[in-house]
Structure 1
Amino acid sequence: MSNRPFQGLVVQMHDTIHATIGVVDETATIIACSDPTRVGTTNEFVSMDMNESGDLFIRDGFTYKPFGVRTTPDYAVFVEGTDENAAKYADILAIAMSSIKQYYDEKYDRNNFIKNVVLDNVLPGDIVVKARELHFNAEISRVVFLIRIVSANDISAYDVIQNLFPDKSKDFVFNITETDIVLVKEIKSTNESKDLEKLARSIADTLSSEFYTRVNVGIGTSVVGVKDLARSFKE
């Protein structure tokens, strides 16, 4: 995942903790820190300590707390100091960072999963299991739009479409070729074909009038759940 969410939280927490804090990855390289000059530096001894235990440990005047979902932690937070307050802050930071990591990992996994389902790269039996793991509502209706770029300028149509549909928990946008973009849109069960056609025209008009990008928009069949998204895409 990107290091930006970690850095953003570090900056916010530093206003409260008033000590040097940050995050190291599994190679013990600092990837986020309240002191930006330290980002990119490495302490190999920290990596050794991370591999030995998932508990708090102290190294060179800093308190570390590993976090991550695997047996061997992916990351560790660190707080300047070796007292009880440093340990408490490290625990709090680890919980917060772990939650952020889980959120971004799940969001990425969901988008990648939907892409593979649409492209028919997932076995039918695996779709049901994975959809349940990623908390997809099996009763929700969705439709696949194929947006094909006919003529464009330097503006990224992909970025524009992502901004048009910012709710990443409901709508999924991804490229399949340089000119083809797929939008998997959650819809109401009461939506009719004319509603989908109106949305398709809105996408095309926005790209054309505001960004001088001409596209053709194809509309798939409305389906319930996730397992039939490949059919929606093909139809």
Structure 2
Amino acid sequence: MISNQILQTTIDGLKGITRIDLCICDTEGKVLASTFPEAEEYENSILSFVESPADSQVIQGYQFFKVFDEHQLEYILLAKGSSDDVYMVGKLAAFQIQNLLVAYKERFDKDNFIKNLLLDNLLLVDIYNRAKKLHIETNVRRVVFLIETKQEKDVNALETVRSLFATKTKDFITAVDEKNIILVKEVKPNEDYADLEKTASVILDMLSSEAMTKVRVAYGTVVNDIKEVSRSYKEAKMALDVGKIFYNGKNVVAYGTLGIGRLIYQLPLPLCRMFIREIFDGKSPDEFDEETLTTINKFFENSLNVSETSRQLYIHRNTLVYRLDKLQKSTGLDLRVFEDAITFKIALMVVKYMKYMENLDY
């Protein structure tokens, strides 16, 4: 459960303090971590010690210790030397490794619990029972952040997020797929959605500068009970998808700011196709030439203001009016009329959604 790297770092640190060589082996005599090169020579002695009833023993000038995970023998520890001081250091080292086992097991159990919680794999009664057993508070305000990395299994990104939040006992970092890092974060009573936006920006900046990776960050709404955490996760997932479709220029997307995009995202594709056929008589609004699309988008950006749009496009007002008249003839919609403008704007968004969903099928 504990990586060999962690074990090596632990005994390196202990040797640095005590100046006594240490070695950790599994129950089959294989060396997992060691501070001296000849550790592999003691494989037979280790196998004999495993079978013996003793918890510690001096063999060939080394102190041998058994390290248990609860009642299961997990590791054999060797301390070089047979003096009382070496025995004491060996016992301390065995105690330290046993504590590491407990800590990592608890972390593993918590990680499994959070994953199953996010994926709705737990019954309501199991959520509260397991949370109590793992000492996780159930009535803390929480929100789920979803961090999508460009590369699959981005270890640097994951470690950077952990360095930011893992020290906070009420925050959890996990993953349920290859590309997304999930942060279940505690929200303090005085924090609001503006603070969550700042947190998302910090994550974005840290991953860009520390892990040298570009990411997209989405987050759901704040929930007050642990059973609702999966809802915040689903909201964050939707925000990530909707952001890709309608707000491609934004790297941080909040579920609470998706607006009409959230409604369109939940429409079935057959209904979307029917809507486009009714409005445009079989044509698609994205078939217009680039000049027309630029004019339309700029007109919407300027709240249907003809004068401001023509100024920003560096064209005469009459030229803009001509383009809008031409558009009206081909579509039957006059963008200067509020109702027609809304219909056209929604149609553009529906087409974007349809294209995104159809591309996912390939």
TM normalised by structure 2 equals 0.55
Matches of residues 5-20 of structure 1 in structure 2 within 5 Å? 5-20=6-21
Structural RMSD (CA) = 3.0
Cα deviation for residue 44 of structure 1 reads: 4.0
1:31 equivalent to 2:43? Answer no
Separation in 2, partners of 1:83, 1:206: 50
Q: Could you tell me which amino acid in structure 2 is paired with residue 9 of structure 1?
A: T
- For 1:121, the equivalent position in structure 2 comes to 121
Cα deviation for residue 94 of structure 1 reads: 1.2
- For 1:130, the equivalent position in structure 2 comes to 130
Separation in 1, partners of 2:51, 2:157: 44
Separation in 2, partners of 1:93, 1:178: 36
Uncovered stretches (5+) of structure 2, i.e. residues with no partner: 236-362
Separation in 2, partners of 1:84, 1:206: 49
Mark the CA change 1:224 to 1:40 in structure 2 (over 3 Å): closer, same or farther: farther
Uncovered stretches (5+) of structure 1, i.e. residues with no partner: none
Separation in 2, partners of 1:234, 1:45: 54
Separation in 2, partners of 1:153, 1:66: 39
Give SS of 1:104's match.
Answer: helix
Contact kept, 8 Å, 2:146 with 2:233, in 1: the verdict is: yes
State which structure, 1 or 2, has the greater radius of gyration over its C-alpha atoms: 2
In the alignment of these two chains, the number of paired residues is 232
Cα deviation for residue 43 of structure 1 reads: 1.0
Separation in 2, partners of 1:9, 1:212: 30
Q: Deviations over 1:160-205 (max 9, x none)?
A: 4334434263322233333332111112023222222332244345
Per residue, is there more helix in 1 or in 2?
2
Q: Could you tell me which amino acid in structure 2 is paired with residue 222 of structure 1?
A: V
Mark the CA change 1:88 to 1:205 in structure 2 (over 3 Å): closer, same or farther: closer
1:74 equivalent to 2:77? Answer no
Q: Report 1 or 2 for greater relative contact order, CA contacts < 8 Å, sequence distance ≥ 6.
A: 1
- For 2:104, the equivalent position in structure 1 comes to 104
Give SS of 1:129's match.
Answer: helix
Per residue, is there more strand in 1 or in 2?
1
Give SS of 2:72's match.
Answer: coil
Mark the CA change 1:45 to 1:152 in structure 2 (over 3 Å): closer, same or farther: closer
Separation in 1, partners of 2:58, 2:66: 11
Separation in 2, partners of 1:161, 1:53: 45
- For 1:176, the equivalent position in structure 2 comes to 176
Separation in 2, partners of 1:51, 1:43: 13
Mark the CA change 1:87 to 1:158 in structure 2 (over 3 Å): closer, same or farther: closer
Mark the CA change 1:109 to 1:51 in structure 2 (over 3 Å): closer, same or farther: farther
Separation in 2, partners of 1:153, 1:5: 24
- For 1:3, the equivalent position in structure 2 comes to 4
Contact kept, 8 Å, 1:24 with 1:77, in 2: the verdict is: yes
Cα deviation for residue 83 of structure 1 reads: 4.1
Q: Could you tell me which amino acid in structure 2 is paired with residue 57 of structure 1?
A: Q
Mark the CA change 1:168 to 1:42 in structure 2 (over 3 Å): closer, same or farther: farther
- For 2:92, the equivalent position in structure 1 comes to 92
Contact kept, 8 Å, 1:7 with 1:32, in 2: the verdict is: yes
Q: Could you tell me which amino acid in structure 2 is paired with residue 133 of structure 1?
A: K
